[in-house]
Amino acid sequence: MPVRLIESLATTAPLAEIFSDHSVLRAMLDFEMALARAEARLNIIPQSAADAIAQAAKAGDFDGATLAGAALRAGTPAIPFVKALTERVRASDSAAAGYVHWGATSQDLCDTALVLLLRQTQSLLESDLDRLEQALFRLAEQHKDTVMLGRTLLQAAPPITFGLKAAGWLGAVSRSHRRLENGFQHSLVLQFGGASGTLAALGEHGLAVAQSLATELRLTLPDAPWHTHRDRFAELVCTCGILCGSLGKIARDISLLMQNEIAEAAEPSGAGRGGSSTMPHKSNPVGCTITLAAAARVPSLVSSFLSSMVQEHERAAGGWQAEWSIISDVVGATGLAVASMAEVADGLTVDAGQMRENIGATRGSIFAERAMMLLGHKLGRDTAHQLLEEAVRRSVEQKRHLSEVLGQMKEVKDRLGPDDLRDLEKPEQYLGSADEFRKRLLASSRRKKSGGKE
């Protein structure tokens, strides 16, 4: 199913297909068929009824638009869906029609169908996350010695390496990947409780049917039905929110590095990518833009889901009904953000020469801290700080390098030798533990692949 035009910047084609009417109907039918098979296996309904239900369970025979309209009057798509399925079964076997949806309730059907859809999304998200992590790992290794400006509050700061920056991005993505795996693991559980969550309609066979149904659907059987306990879905939704935030941070960094006056990195280009409708010279950060849009949308969706968690007693009025669209929107936006950043990272161009030029353009002012620490041992930190403030002021006003200005200040000449001043503005000599931090971040991401701990 193609992405609808209004969703073109909100999801991917594969995720749109997973949440399409046909796919939703298929998941709902899978639940009903599995329930009938489980109950027939336990001799609760006739095998002939299970066979008739399976025969009628063809998603293409159901009209999603009609069911959607009826859902507005029923308060759930389950009621018109079960009615439509029952009628199709009755057309071939009137006796079997009475066993459709046997012992289940509407929320059992809808929740489990959603779980089945989420299981399909997991492989898509994790595949793109793997691709993104591999690309960031490569960047962190390739640019371990590529020096660039550190930037704090959008101002030039002492140097770092691009390898460390990429490793920092990788660390955040890797941590979210682990959270996402846990979120899916906890969410992919069967919902089956009947009217009040006790399976009373099935008598002494309730737990046996539940276990058989979970086995049929390849889902975990929880300790008890969870009709109004939405913490599992909340964990997954919140994890998506955290992941989108981390992806948005990466996208913000890269889009800023792509500014013409910075020009240190560039997204991959190609036909139809990043152009402007009016300015032929432009190459816009489209992958970053799409990711930032997701990072802007998802927090409010997460908040909406958390608000919907306050559900009354054994069945909610409004809270549960809010969830389908919220979860599909969150997963769609997250999947698009991950896919977009995987493409960006995979083809990112890094201009190491421009990074060094931008360091040079500061005329050494970013090394004021280094000079202050050298002088601080001899003058005291406060005195050294005041001296460097004056030196930087002169450097900026006179457009001269900081080392040159310092070399003409008597307080400095008496305490720092020519070698100190000559090496002051060499970025490679003021990186501190940058590479150790980079290596630690990479090692942590590798441990994730092998199932280890942080």
Residue 315 a catalytic site member: yes
Burial class (CB in 10 A: 0-12, 13-18, 19+), 300: exposed
Say how far apart CA 195 and CA 398 lie, in whole Å. 81
C-alpha 308, offset from chain centre: 21
Catalytic (active site) residue 394: no
Distance CA 416, CA 419 (A): 8
Task: Give CB contacts under 8 A, 24+ apart, made by 70-77.
Answer: 75/321, 76/106, 76/107, 76/110, 76/321, 77/28, 77/110
List 41, 90, 179, 315, catalytic entry: 315
**Rounded Cα–Cα distance for residues 302 and 196 (Å):** 28
According to DSSP, residue 320 is labeled G
Instruction: To the nearest 10°, report the CA torsion of 153, 159, 164, 170.
Output: 20
User: With contact defined as beta carbons under 8 Å apart, do 199 and 206 qualify?
Assistant: yes
Q: Are 139 and 162 in contact (CB under 8 A)?
A: yes
H or E element in which residue 299 lies: helix 286-308
* Tokens found for residue 142: 């390739």
Q: How far is C-alpha 41 from the geometric centre of its chain's CA atoms?
A: 41
In degrees and rounded to multiples of 5, residue 189 shows phi and psi of: -125, 150
Beta-bridge partner residues of 220: 189
Distance of alpha carbon 192 from alpha carbon 394, whole angstroms: 75
DSSP, collapsed to helix, strand or coil, labels residue 157 as strand
Please give the DSSP secondary-structure letter assigned to residue 321. Answer: G
| DSSP structure string for 176-188 | HHHHHHHHHHHH-
Token pair, residue 232, equals 């599992």
276, 307, 325, 433: which is the annotated catalytic residue?
276
- Catalytically annotated residues: 276, 315
